[in-house]
Amino acid sequence: MSRISDSAFFMRLACGIEYDGEPFYGFQIQAQEPTVQSCLEAAIGKVADHKVRVACSGRTDTGVSAKHQVIHFDTTSERTPWQWMMGINTASHEGISVLWVKPVSDDFHARFSAVSRSYEYCIINRRVRPAINRHHLTWISQPLNHNLMHDALQLLVGTHDFNALRSSHCQSHVSVKTIHHAAVTRSGNIIKLSVTANGFLHHMIRNIVGTLIPIGSGLKPVSWMAEVLASKDRKQAGITAPPNGLSFTHVTYPEHFEIPGNDND
């Protein structure tokens, strides 16, 4: 434990969470709208009996879900990990679930200690719009060739300037990121894009998807992705794909922190 003041000590706790992005206006607190952070802080505060501030591994936008997000908070209250987990889940919004709770050293930070993050984007590719799981899929009616999309996505693997594939409102001062792994796969009418990188820019995945769709439909060649990337111009890329197909899936940390993975029963 570390000292907050002369009379109080705090413990830092890390939590793995999943959430349905559909009811929330993103992760970060907003003044008048429900967000994942505001709901979590209210629930954790009830269990802790004091106000808390939550930090996350990666902020998500309105409508974007998370299968394994990591957060941390500091507390002066003593509870077992099980008591924290069950208490927060009882007090929190039904669209949020805490998967695990673990004490960590005070040099751990959910965002700044992370070494990589992963996202997944799911498309349902068929002529008829979906009724089931429609808030977690993006519907594309025209036929898509996932092999062409995969080939184009490989052009982004490595370290590049992704200025052309970020939001025009992105506030990051640095647009260079490293993509470690990227793939497009298909099972039946479901196409999944998965990307792991050292970090992401605002709307980066959604803009990548919006650029891959014309390639998959045959309107643009695979080489167009390289042209877009080289241009460093957002106007040269495709549209921003909808948020509902996007999920934050995983985050990795240095081994010495012993942060659990996302295989939670």
pTM of the model: 0.91
Statement to judge: residues 204 and 162 lie in one domain? yes
Domain count, the chain: 2
Tokens of 111: 């965002």
Active site residue 61: yes
Q: Residue 170, SS3?
A: coil
Claim to verify: residue 244 and residue 120 sit in the same structural domain:
yes
Domain co-membership, 99 together with 121: no
- Interval 18-43: pLDDT, tens: 999 999 999 999 988 999 999 999 99
Q: Say if CB 256 and CB 105 are below 8 A apart.
A: no
pLDDT digits (tens, 9 = 90+) for 75-127: 999 999 999 999 999 999 999 999 999 999 999 999 999 999 999 999 999 99
Residue identified by tokens 């001062």 is: 173
Place of tokens 């196409």: 191
Assess whether 167 and 218 both reside in one domain. yes
Q: Which of 20, 61, 74, 107 is catalytic?
A: 61
For position 214, which CATH number holds?
3.30.70.660
Look up residue 1 and give its amino acid: M
Same domain, 86 and 60: yes
Q: Are residues 24 and 99 in the same domain?
A: yes
The rounded distance, in Å, linking the Cα atoms of 16 and 23 is 19
Does some domain include residue 255? no
What are the tokens at 228?
Answer: 């877009």
**Is residue 119 annotated as involved in ligand binding?**
yes
- Same-domain pairing of 70 and 123: no
- In tens, the pLDDT along 138-150 reads 999 999 999 999 9
Query: Is residue 4 a part of any domain in this protein?
Result: no
Closest CA to 36 of 59, 13, 57: 59
Q: Write out the residue range of the structural domain in which residue 209 sits.
A: 116-249
CA 84/CA 180 separation, integer angstroms: 34
Return mean pLDDT, the chain: 93
